[in-house]
Structure formats: structure tokens, C-alpha cells
Amino acid sequence: MATAARRATVYLDPELHKALRLKAVETSRSVSDLVNDAVREALAEDAEDITAFEERAKEPLISYDEMVKRLKKDGRI
């Protein structure tokens, strides 16, 4: 079931707003559609990052010093 859109006030940098309006005209889409898509993509990236962090949460931690030593030992630095 589709939900009604909610109104929000967002203050954009004037140059970003101009670019957004121009893209809306060139793509025959509304500014709202472009903003919704951008926010949706950003949240999807966050969800992927959270999943990756959760998958690696039980991996053992390694100090910076130990990592440098391993890289040197392996001939990578």
C-alpha cells in the first residue's frame, strides 16, 4: 500500500539547488523525485555498511603497529 508523501523543509546551498532544478528539467523529473532517490541511495549504502560491520564484528582486532609489521614481513612495504 502506498503512503502519502510527507512535506519537509530542506535548505540547500543555492548552487546545489540550481543544479538540482536543472537536472530535474533535463530528466523530466521533479526535484522531490531526485531528492527522494538520492536519500534512498544514501540510506541503502548505510544499510550495506552496517551489514558489513555486523559481519566483521567478531573478527579479532589488530593494532596499527602489528599491521605495519605484518605488511613489512610480507614484503608489501
pLDDT along the chain (77 residues), means of 10: 86 98 98 97 97 93 96 96
pLDDT of residue 3: 81
d(CA 16, CA 20): 6
Domain boundaries, the chain: 14-73
